[in-house]
Amino acid sequence: MATTLNSKFKDNWLKAALMAAVVLVSAFALTACGNSEEEKTGIVEGEPVHLGPLEYNVLFTRPLNKSDVEDSQYLADQPFPKPGTTYIGVFVKIENTDEDEAHRLPEGFKIITTTGKSFENIPSESAYVLQPGSEVPKGGNVPELDSTPQVGPIQASMLLYLMDDPSIEERPVELHIEGEDGPATVELDL
C-alpha cells in the first residue's frame, strides 16, 4: 500500500511540475510576442548595431575646435561656441542591408548623459553632416560612395552637438538611436 501511495505521489508531483513548466514557458512566449521593440544597450564605438535593416556604426566621437583647420570644415556654418560650451562630433557610418527597399533615418539623434541630461543634434550646412530623416537607398550607405564625408579624413558622416562642458563629464555619455527593433544606445568615448 505504501508503494502505491508513493507512486501516486510521484506521478502527481511530476504532472504538477510539468504543468508549471508549460505555464511558465507560455507566459514567457506571450511576453516576448508583445515586445518586438527591445532596447539594445552595452554597445561601444566601433561595434555595429542593427535596427531593422539599417546597420549603424559609431566610429568615434570627439570635441571639435572651430580654430582647427580640419574641424573648421565640420563647423563651417557654426558660430564660435559660447564660453563653457563645446561642439561634439559623432562620426557614424550607416548601411541599408535591405537590397529591395530604401529606409528612412530617424528625425533626430540624442546624446544622453548619466544624469539624464539630453542634447539633440543640431542642424548644419557642413558637407560632412549626417542629415537626420533622410533616406538610405536600397543596399546603400551613409556616407554615399565618393561623397565628401566618405573620402574625407574620417570617412564617416557627422552628427553635431553643442554641449555644456559639465555635461561632457557626466559619463557614460550615450548616443540614443531610435529605429526598428530598437532603440539602441551607444556609449560614446568622450
Instruction: Give 90 or 27, the one with higher predicted confidence.
Output: 90
Q: Which domain holds residue 6?
A: 1-35
Q: Assess whether 104 and 15 both reside in one domain.
A: no
Q: Is the peptide bond before 166 cis (omega within 30 degrees of 0)?
A: no
pLDDT value for 32? 39
Which amino acid is present at 88? I
Structure confidence at residue 27 as a pLDDT band (50, 70, 90): very low
Answer yes or no: do 127 and 175 share one domain.
yes
DSSP single-letter state for residue 68: S
pLDDT of residue 41 exceeding 80:
yes
Q: Are residues 15 and 49 in the same domain?
A: no
Task: Please write the tens of the pLDDT for every residue from 103-135.
Answer: 999 999 999 999 999 999 999 999 999 999 999
Pairing type for strands 184-188 and 40-44 reads: parallel
- pLDDT the model gives residue 180: 86
- Mean per-residue pLDDT of the chain: 86
Are 28 and 61 found together in one domain?
no
Number of domains in the chain: 2
